[in-house]
Amino acid sequence: MSEAIPISLTVNGRTHRLFVQPWHTLLQVLREQILLTGSKRGCNQGVCGACSVTIDGAVVRGCLTLAVNATDREIVTVEGLAAGNELSPVQQALLDRGAVQCGFCMPGMAVAATALLADNPDPSDDEIRDGLSGNLCRCSGYVKVIEAVRSASAGGAS
């Protein structure tokens, strides 16, 4: 094994000083070193989206991002969406609409939906589909996910 590299990662507002191998993915470091296991490993290939996190507001795949490339930037994971016990509007809508079944895709889905609404506060249904097209869910059929994101959007009071 090569020499571990010292890095610092800022996750959900907290800075962690760590030693990582150059090939360690952000997902691996989040789950195994920082012990934030909310982000999931569904395919480890960048397809399923269960590991979605944001870096400086942009959605990335934790499994395709090297930890060493995420240093000194703002990383937000599913654990960083709620303010204490208060769910974010997207989380609350997913809960209220019954969009969550097994929940394995939900950390990534919630992160991606949050980023989508930050970019576009009042998306059309097509824009919601487009914004979440990188997040696979095998349980819900997506119907209630779309309803939830619509209801959490600026024009979605209902």
Residue 133 engages another protein in binding (rule: CB under 8 A) = yes
Residue 136 engages another protein in binding (rule: CB under 8 A) = yes
Amino acid letter for position 141: G
Residue 17, H or E segment = strand 14-20
What is the closest distance, in whole angstroms, from the C-beta atom of residue 61 to another protein in the complex?
Answer: 12
What is the three-class DSSP state of 112? Answer: helix
What is the three-class DSSP state of 66? Answer: strand
Residue 40 engages another protein in binding (rule: CB under 8 A) = yes
Residue 50 engages another protein in binding (rule: CB under 8 A) = yes
Site string for another protein, 64-83 (x = CB under 8 A): -------------xxx-xx-
Residue 125 engages another protein in binding (rule: CB under 8 A) = yes
Exposed, middle or buried by CB within 10 Å (0-12, 13-18, 19+), for 58? exposed
d(CA 73, CA 83): 20
For binding to another protein (CB under 8 A), which residues are involved? Answer: 31, 36-45, 47-48, 50, 77-79, 81-82, 87, 91, 94-107, 110, 125, 128-130, 132-133, 135-146
